[in-house]
Amino acid sequence: MRINKDSFAILNKSETPSVFRVNISEEVVKIEEKVEGNLYGDVLVFSDSMEDAFDIGVQYRDVIDYLLFFDKESQKVVVLGEPEKPVLSIEEIFGRIQKIFKDFEERKEQVKLSKEIENCLEEGKFGIFEAPTGTGKSLAYLIPSILYAKKHSLKVVVSTNTINLQRQLMEKDLPVLKNIIDFNAKVALGRSNYLCKRKVDSIFEKGNLFLFEDGSYEKLKSFVNSTKTGVKAEFFTSDTTIDETLWESVASTSLTCAHTKCPYYKNRCFYYKARALLESADLIVANHHIVLSDALVKEAGVLPDYDAVIFDEAHNLEKNATNYFTQTVSTAEISKLLDRLYIKKKRKEAGLLSDIAEDKNKTECVSYIKEVRRAIEDVLEFFGGFKQDEITVNADNLYKIKPHINALSDTVSNLSLKLKHWKDSVDISAIAQSLSDYSDALNLFFENEVSDIKWIKKTKTYVHFNITPLSISEALRENIYERAESVIFTSATISVNGNFDFFKKTVGVDTANEFIAENNFDYDSTSKLVITSDTPFPDSPEYANALSKCIVSIAKGIKNIDAGALILFTSYRMLNKTYELSCERLESLGFVVLRQGDFDNFETLKEFKKNRSFLFATSSFWEGIDVKGDALSIVFITRLPFEVPNTPVESSRYEVMKRQGVNAFIEYSLPKAVLKFRQGFGRLIRDKNDRGVILVTDSRIIRKTYGKVFVDSLPKLKKEVIKTNEIKDSICSFFGSC
Ligand code: SF4
């Protein structure tokens, strides 16, 4: 007995899972018609023999969610049960995906990668895996993660760097697998995404004159009454004009949670309900932000205990971890806490202290608050005198800075101690604790801790005091690696020169299983690397003019075909200069000219995809865009993407390496630049039907010894070294366009 092809076609066509009446004739199961009612999952209703129904149910349990038997005599439907989905191997799962989704293409490297990840998970090991674009990396790690979690009743966390990827996993990849395996996957949101009902009650009871002046009070009230999830995104979808500070004042935080003393604790609290759902999940889809910040707050975090974590887009981990393991004291944050305590406008008081009857303690406290505000003003004025916006604190300037930090720390500490008088108030105690932590962190500026970088960032409105670990590897070891049995890192670009040495050093991993998947695309026949040998060096004053000429040559090369170009810069200054020099010429040749920053990135990309365009871009566009087809036929890398170590963190790391006798350029700057270069290159071919040219005019790639590392890091493809005035012909010959 078999279910024939047509039957599946009908099943897959149904937009919502529905009930189908099934008939069996001549050994073939025929799905005859859709009947009333919607259930979750495809349901087959058998109407001939109950035994046959069972047979089919068992045989096709991976596509049938419910098995019903229609008893003709009694005219009743009997539920035979929900057939359990069998435990399948990785190969079998990929095989079934292919059967169900006709567009799915089997890729050997995808299965190999998946099995490598399965081995790591089963053996409790670390793994570093590179999977070029087109490998199908998401399914390759989701499948073994689910199988492992189900088999051992453990939890696996998948961490992405971008919301886009998180969305893709939840909306595209996991629903595919739902057709084949039973599992429970949930998305983790950071704690402050949930509304704290206790805080809302408190605000509603007491009111807050300044917070709700603009009618936000009513919006919040109606949201609280209607929402089932209490999630921030839901609140802001209904009205994007609401001030973010409103949410901050009602968001759940570990510090302000009253726990067992709260009437909503556990079952009626949005945050605890969401956390309980995560407890029941096999797979948790999170992002680097949540995994890293959660590691710092440990049991107060949103993630339950997990056995393994998979970092996708792992090339960003060092940058993310550097941010999250940086301890920051912000004058803006302190001011917000002061406002929440006490604020007086037009002779009206607001804030937590405003409800307290006048007495000596309150008067003293209000006076301490004024002192902190004065200390903040002094700090703003003092640091306003510095020319640079980011200042590294060192022995040379500490003596000047110290009195101002001291004054701030002392006043903050005094206020914190005074607030302890109201220890019964959860909200006041939470503010006291935060202030005390801030004061302690400010005092760390005077400790001679060589493993930390102390630096200050200032604007006109705030000053941030930051302490960043010199290396994040220790912090990752302590906070992440000790928490999970297996840690898997994966990305399209984490190897340099065919190895993971640089990555391992930056994230503090000594031993790991390693695997680099082969390219799924045939770069050799679909793309070409063109390098110009006569362009001036990028630091030359002539460079912008030279770039503009190259850009116009590209435009002439593609003016007769449907093609667009992405021009990647390493600085906004050069981007703007070149844009100004080229814009008119490009428009006169019939192209739409786009510049990153003129609209938001999403709009810019939308325009780029639908027109024959030139997009001038920098920073996030080196890695954040996925444009398939002719719209992106040329990637122009205007400069090798070396980072200038001019931030306090980068320059301090550089300095320390030099002191240790390490060649910081070779060991740190070069591999970082190569990775970014590979990411830029990766924008070109996004699909097996794509083709295009990558143009590099930074002649250091052929004139300097290290240039070879860039070229060797690319997949096998045709290479051409030409003069600038040959760009048009080279492009024409590739596309056959002139
Ligand atoms: S349990 Fe904590 S987070 Fe939840 S409503 Fe109560 S105080 Fe707010």
Q: Is 262 in the pocket of ligand 1 (CB under 6 A)?
A: yes
Q: Is 257 in the pocket of ligand 1 (CB under 6 A)?
A: yes
In tens, the pLDDT along 189-220 reads 989 999 999 988 887 776 554 555 667 777 88
Q: Is 264 in the pocket of ligand 1 (CB under 6 A)?
A: yes
What pLDDT sits at residue 68?
59
Same fold, 87-184+283-325+486-520 and 328-469: no
Nearest protein Cα to ligand 1, atom 4: 269
Q: Give the nearest ligand 1 atom to 194 CA.
A: 3
Q: Are the C-beta atoms of 156 and 511 separated by less than 8 Å? A: no
Q: Is 251 in the pocket of ligand 1 (CB under 6 A)?
A: no
Please count the other Cβ atoms lying within 10 Å of the Cβ belonging to residue 268: 11
What pLDDT sits at residue 208?
56
Q: Is the pLDDT of residue 69 over 80?
A: no
Q: Is 195 in the pocket of ligand 1 (CB under 6 A)?
A: no
What pLDDT sits at residue 43?
52
In tens, the pLDDT along 228-258 reads 899 988 888 766 677 777 888 889 988 889 8
The sign of the dihedral angle between the CA atoms of 197, 201, 207, 212 is positive
Banded pLDDT at 86 (limits 50, 70, 90): low
Helix (H, G, I), strand (E, B) or coil at 324: helix
Q: Is the pLDDT of residue 722 over 80?
A: yes
Pick the CATH number of 523-735 from 3.30.450.40, 3.40.630.30, 3.40.50.300, 3.40.80.10: 3.40.50.300
What pLDDT sits at residue 3?
46
CA distances from 706 to 462, 506, 657, 673, 716 (A): 42, 21, 19, 11, 19
What are the structural domain ranges in the chain? 2-81, 87-184+283-325+486-520, 190-280, 328-469, 523-735
Range 87-184+283-325+486-520 classified under CATH 3.60.150.10: no
In tens, the pLDDT along 488-546 reads 999 999 999 889 999 999 999 999 999 999 988 999 999 999 999 999 999 999 999 99
Banded pLDDT at 40 (limits 50, 70, 90): very low
Q: Is 265 in the pocket of ligand 1 (CB under 6 A)?
A: yes
Q: Is the pLDDT of residue 13 over 50?
A: no
Q: Is 191 in the pocket of ligand 1 (CB under 6 A)?
A: no
Tally of CA atoms within 13 A in the half-sphere of 297 that contains its CB? 16
What pLDDT sits at residue 349?
79
What pLDDT sits at residue 60?
58
Instruction: State the distance from the centre of ligand 1 to the C-alpha of 262, rounded, in angstroms.
Output: 6
Q: In 3D, which of 568, 519, 494 has the Cα closest to residue 108?
A: 519
Q: Are the C-beta atoms of 438 and 329 separated by less than 8 Å? A: yes
Nearest protein Cα to ligand 1, atom 7: 257
Instruction: State the distance from the centre of ligand 1 to the C-alpha of 260, rounded, in angstroms.
Output: 9
Instruction: State the distance from the centre of ligand 1 to the C-alpha of 98, rounded, in angstroms.
Output: 46
Mean pLDDT of 319-344: 91
Which of 259, 271, 429 to mutate for ligand 1's pocket (most ligand atoms within 8 Å of CB)? 271
Instruction: State the distance from the centre of ligand 1 to the C-alpha of 248, rounded, in angstroms.
Output: 14
Does the predicted TM-score (pTM) go above 0.75?
yes
CA distances from 311 to 63, 315, 483 (A): 31, 9, 14
Instruction: State the distance from the centre of ligand 1 to the C-alpha of 188, rounded, in angstroms.
Output: 18
What pLDDT sits at residue 23?
58
Range 328-469 classified under CATH 3.50.70: no
Long-range contacts of 466-471 (CB under 8 A, 24+ apart): 466/326, 466/327, 466/328, 467/326, 467/327, 467/328, 467/441, 468/322, 468/325, 468/326, 468/327, 468/648, 468/649, 469/322, 469/325, 469/326, 470/652, 470/653, 470/656, 471/508, 471/653
Please count the other Cβ atoms lying within 10 Å of the Cβ belonging to residue 689: 11
What pLDDT sits at residue 311?
97
Mean pLDDT of 448-458: 87
Instruction: State the distance from the centre of ligand 1 to the C-alpha of 437, rounded, in angstroms.
Output: 22
**Amino acid type, 65:** D
Instruction: State the distance from the centre of ligand 1 to the C-alpha of 202, rounded, in angstroms.
Output: 12
Which of 203, 224, 229, 272 to mutate for ligand 1's pocket (most ligand atoms within 8 Å of CB)? 272
What pLDDT sits at residue 78?
57
Instruction: State the distance from the centre of ligand 1 to the C-alpha of 257, rounded, in angstroms.
Output: 5
Instruction: State the distance from the centre of ligand 1 to the C-alpha of 196, rounded, in angstroms.
Output: 5
Instruction: State the distance from the centre of ligand 1 to the C-alpha of 294, rounded, in angstroms.
Output: 18
Which of 191, 227, 264, 267 to mutate for ligand 1's pocket (most ligand atoms within 8 Å of CB)? 264
Q: Is the pLDDT of residue 95 over 80?
A: yes
Banded pLDDT at 30 (limits 50, 70, 90): low
Nearest protein Cα to ligand 1, atom 8: 196
Banded pLDDT at 445 (limits 50, 70, 90): confident
What pLDDT sits at residue 273?
93
Instruction: State the distance from the centre of ligand 1 to the C-alpha of 171, rounded, in angstroms.
Output: 30
Q: Is 271 in the pocket of ligand 1 (CB under 6 A)?
A: yes
In tens, the pLDDT along 594-644 reads 999 898 888 899 999 988 999 999 988 998 788 999 999 999 999 999 988
In tens, the pLDDT along 335-392 reads 999 998 988 877 777 888 887 888 888 899 999 999 999 999 999 999 999 999 999 9
Instruction: State the distance from the centre of ligand 1 to the C-alpha of 265, rounded, in angstroms.
Output: 6
What pLDDT sits at residue 10?
47
Nearest protein Cα to ligand 1, atom 2: 257
Q: What residues are paired with 128 via a beta bridge?
A: 489, 514
What pLDDT sits at residue 278?
94
Q: Residue 601 burial by CB count (10 A; 0-12/13-18/19+): exposed, middle or buried? A: middle
